[in-house]
């Protein structure tokens, strides 16, 4: 999927530029969803810079974090600044959720939660049956584990021992209209997942080195990685605030957010 020419280790400079780009895109488009994008950006950057090779494939199940995915593709040279400038504009290829056509590295249109894990299962099994090398990585949200189809996929992947499949959970603890623990608590989610014949890791979702190391662990069965993240990570007034699932930034807020990135 990602050509090796584009591979370059994720550096703090690239990480900072990506955070600035993500904020800028959302500010100039005047749109929300920034909170969940900020919680996903770090892992997406690690995946696209340091993990994916050759035939590896990635599926974004939490489609509302597509802004962070576009930025990760930009950061690795797969999208241009001009492309990102069209975000949310008429005639853009870069829709507000992953589009079905037009972006090579986006395999599936997602956005309705509960599809990505199953799509990842099918990709993984299709590659195995055709003796294709490579791994499949899928990023889910934590709220998404309220979807029954996600559990159908877990049963399937566990039963079939899909050892070329890694499922990530962006565990930021917030969903559309409340805290996941208050809406439909499965806390702690990882204890439930451990009951299936799978490997489960629980890690800091903003520690680049830990994410990289965990993703590079050899696996002989399905690996589920819980990323403990903060919605709105890195912006003081957004951090762990549900409303930043929806709100666009004002000019003043945007300037504060940008200034805070330099100090991170």
Partner 1 sequence: MRRQFCDAMLKRAANQKMVFLTGDLGFMALEPLQKALGERFINAGIAEQNMLSVAAAMSKTGMEVWVYSIAPFLYARAFEQIRNDVAFHALPVKIVGNGGGYGYGVQGPTHHAIEDYGVLLTLPAMQACIPVFDEDLDAAVSWIAANNLPTYLRLGRGEQPSDFQVPLFQPWRLLVEGNGPVVVVCGPLASTYIETVKAMEESSRPNLWAVSVLPLALATPPPEMLRQLAKTGKLIVAEEHVQRGGLGSELTLWLAERGLSPLRFAHLYAMAHRFERYGSQSYLRRQSKLDPLSLQETLYSL
Minimum CB separation of residue 135 from partner 1 in Å reads 13
User: DSSP secondary-structure letter at 199?
Assistant: E
Minimum CB separation of residue 109 from partner 1 in Å reads 5
Choose between 93 and 125: whose C-beta lies nearer to partner 1.
Answer: 125
Are 180 and 12 spatial neighbours (Cβ–Cβ below 8 Å)? no
Binding-site ranges for partner 1 (CB under 8 A): 100-101, 107-110, 112, 114-115, 118-123, 125-127, 129-130, 132, 148-149, 152-153, 155-156, 159
- The residue among 99, 97, 101, 150 whose CA lies nearest residue 121 is 150
Minimum CB separation of residue 121 from partner 1 in Å reads 5
> Does the CA dihedral 201-46-72-257 come out positive or negative?
positive
> Does the CA dihedral 200-144-208-121 come out positive or negative?
positive
Choose between 2 and 45: whose C-beta lies nearer to partner 1.
Answer: 2
Minimum CB separation of residue 83 from partner 1 in Å reads 21
Beta bridge mates, 228: 171, 204
Report the DSSP pairing between strands 174-175 and 178-179: antiparallel
Choose between 101 and 262: whose C-beta lies nearer to partner 1.
Answer: 101
Minimum CB separation of residue 148 from partner 1 in Å reads 7
Are 197 and 158 spatial neighbours (Cβ–Cβ below 8 Å)? yes
Choose between 23 and 222: whose C-beta lies nearer to partner 1.
Answer: 222
Exposed, middle or buried: residue 204 (CB in 10 Å: 0-12, 13-18, 19+)? middle
Choose between 34 and 127: whose C-beta lies nearer to partner 1.
Answer: 127
Choose between 77 and 122: whose C-beta lies nearer to partner 1.
Answer: 122
Choose between 98 and 232: whose C-beta lies nearer to partner 1.
Answer: 98
Report the DSSP pairing between strands 199-204 and 223-228: parallel
Minimum CB separation of residue 72 from partner 1 in Å reads 21
Structure token digits, residue 219? 């696996």
User: On the CB side of 205, how many CA atoms lie within 13 Å of its CA?
Assistant: 29
- The residue among 22, 45, 32, 46 whose CA lies nearest residue 258 is 22
Minimum CB separation of residue 63 from partner 1 in Å reads 10
């Amino acid at each position: 999927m990602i050509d090796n020419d584009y591979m370059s280790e994720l550096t703090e400079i690239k990480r900072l530029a990506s955070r600035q780009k993500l904020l800028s895109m959302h500010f100039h488009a005047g749109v929300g969803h920034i909170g969940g994008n900020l919680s996903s950006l770090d892992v997406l950057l690690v995946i696209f810079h340091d993990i994916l090779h050759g035939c590896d494939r990635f599926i974004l199940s939490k489609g509302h974090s597509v802004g962070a995915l576009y930025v990760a593709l930009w950061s690795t040279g797969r999208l241009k600044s001009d492309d990102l400038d069209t975000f949310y504009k008429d005639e853009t290829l870069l829709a507000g959720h992953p589009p079905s056509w037009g972006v090579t590295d986006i395999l599936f249109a997602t956005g309705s939660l509960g599809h990505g894990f199953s799509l990842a299962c099918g990709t993984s099994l299709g590659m195995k049956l055709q003796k294709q090398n490579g791994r499949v990585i899928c990023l889910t949200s934590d709220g998404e584990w309220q979807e029954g189809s996600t559990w159908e996929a877990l049963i399937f992947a566990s039963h079939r021992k899909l050892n070329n499949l890694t499922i990530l959970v962006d565990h930021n603890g917030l969903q559309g209209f409340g805290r996941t623990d208050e809406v439909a608590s499965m806390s702690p989610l990882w204890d439930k997942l451990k009951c299936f014949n799978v490997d489960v890791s629980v890690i800091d979702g903003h520690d680049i080195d830990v994410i990289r190391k965990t993703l590079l662990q050899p696996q002989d069965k399905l690996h589920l990685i819980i990323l403990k993240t903060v919605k709105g990570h890195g912006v003081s007034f957004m951090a762990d605030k549900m409303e930043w699932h929806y709100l666009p930034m004002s000019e003043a807020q945007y300037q504060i957010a940008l200034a805070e990135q330099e100090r991170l």
